[in-house]
Amino acid sequence: MAKVLITGGTGLVGTHLRIKLQEMGYEVAILSRTKRNETKLLTYTWDYNKDEIDKDAINTSDYIIHLAGVNLGEKRWTSKRKQLIFDSRIKSAELIYNNIDKGNNRLRAFITASAIGYYDAITSDKELNETEPPSDDFLGQTCKKWEQVADRFTDIGIRAVKIRTGVVLAKQGGALSKIIIPIKMGIGSAIGDGNQYLPWIHIDDLCSIYIKAIEDTQMIGAFNAVAPEHKTNKQFIETIAHYMDKPFGFPKIPAFAIKVIFGKMSEMILTGSRISSDKIRNSGFVFRYPNLESALEQLEL
């Protein structure tokens, strides 16, 4: 079976994905800044800040899945934090590209994470698809540069796939564990005006999209990884509250309060567009969790 190298392989999505791949019989390895002692997990080392990488990791792999990147929602977006968000995605991808043995490589595809932050935030019901230009804001330009590195793989004959991901729902960790805290306390409410869309995807569906990107040679370019169902922030929170049998309708959290608490990162919380999943579905992908109710039932909150 083919060998898959994952960057960010110990994160939420990376851990889930590598387990699924191993269960399917793939040989899986990860790139890590520290050597790990897990005998069942082949680990190579790298450090993009020092421009160091184990070249064997790249040149013995059939597929690379690039998930590395510091958490967007973990800390306030200071200038230093924004630079770290940028570098952890772009510089790390460039390090991989620059160390490929371009004359004799076995790499069949480079598959990179991206984000729906690529798109402009609009308040209308227009569905944004993969042909839309990137936003001029920080997230949009970060995603643009992130994806441009993937395009360089295409230039040397390696299939490149870019997965623009929405909010990932998982049992443990990720955004959902934070979203449900006030709901559990009985104070679930919309954020801002509540009308901004919140595109989401169940982690199982996301991992299945990555697996399809490995196995489907027709998958090239950008694909939105979001569930077909569209929910505004208000509808999203209200659905979860109803599922958990908790009250909803506590006064909305005003935008100014979010801006005070989160600074520039509030842009990510207070804005959101209606993102189309048509392209990935037209490729033959079928969502196991196409609506929020089915996802919540599986997650057993």
User: Tell me, what's the pLDDT at 38?
Assistant: 58
Distances (CA, A) of 112 to 38, 169, 213: 25, 19, 10
Counting beta carbons within 10 angstroms of the beta carbon of residue 165, is it exposed (0 to 12), middle (13 to 18) or buried (19 or more)? buried
Angle between helices 203-215 and 12-23 (to 10 degrees): 60
User: Tell me, what's the pLDDT at 96?
Assistant: 96
User: Tell me, what's the pLDDT at 279?
Assistant: 98
Q: What is the 3-state secondary structure (H, E, C) of the chain?
A: CCEEEEECCCCHHHHHHHHHHHHCCCEEEEEECCCCCCCCCEEEEEECCCCEECHHHHHCCCEEEECCCCCCCCCCCCHHHHHHHHHHHHHHHHHHHHCCCCCCCCCCEEEEEEEHHHCCCCCCCCEECCCCCCCCCHHHHHHHHHHHHHHHHHHCCCEEEEEEECEEECCCCHHHHHHHHHHHCCCECCECCCCCECCEEEHHHHHHHHHHHHHCCCCCEEEEECCCCCCEHHHHHHHHHHHCCCCECCCCECHHHHHHHHHHHHHHHHCCCEECCHHHHHCCCCCCCCCHHHHHHHHCC
User: Tell me, what's the pLDDT at 35?
Assistant: 72
Give CA–CA dist 289/209, Å, rounded: 13
Q: What is the mean pLDDT of the chain?
A: 91
Give CA–CA dist 133/154, Å, rounded: 20
Question: pLDDT grade, residue 271 (50/70/90)?
Answer: confident
Residue pair 43/8 in contact (Cβ under 8 Å)? The answer is no
Domain boundary assignment for the chain = 3-169+200-226
Q: What is the pLDDT of residues 7-65, one digit of tens each?
A: 999 999 999 999 999 999 999 999 998 876 656 789 999 999 999 999 999 999 999 99
3-169+200-226 CATH: 3.40.50.720
Question: pLDDT grade, residue 238 (50/70/90)?
Answer: very high
| Mean pLDDT to the nearest integer, 159-183 | 91
User: Tell me, what's the pLDDT at 258?
Assistant: 62
Question: pLDDT grade, residue 273 (50/70/90)?
Answer: very high
User: Tell me, what's the pLDDT at 17?
Assistant: 98
User: Tell me, what's the pLDDT at 37?
Assistant: 61
The amino acid at residue 30 is: I
Question: pLDDT grade, residue 72 (50/70/90)?
Answer: confident
Give CA–CA dist 231/22, Å, rounded: 34
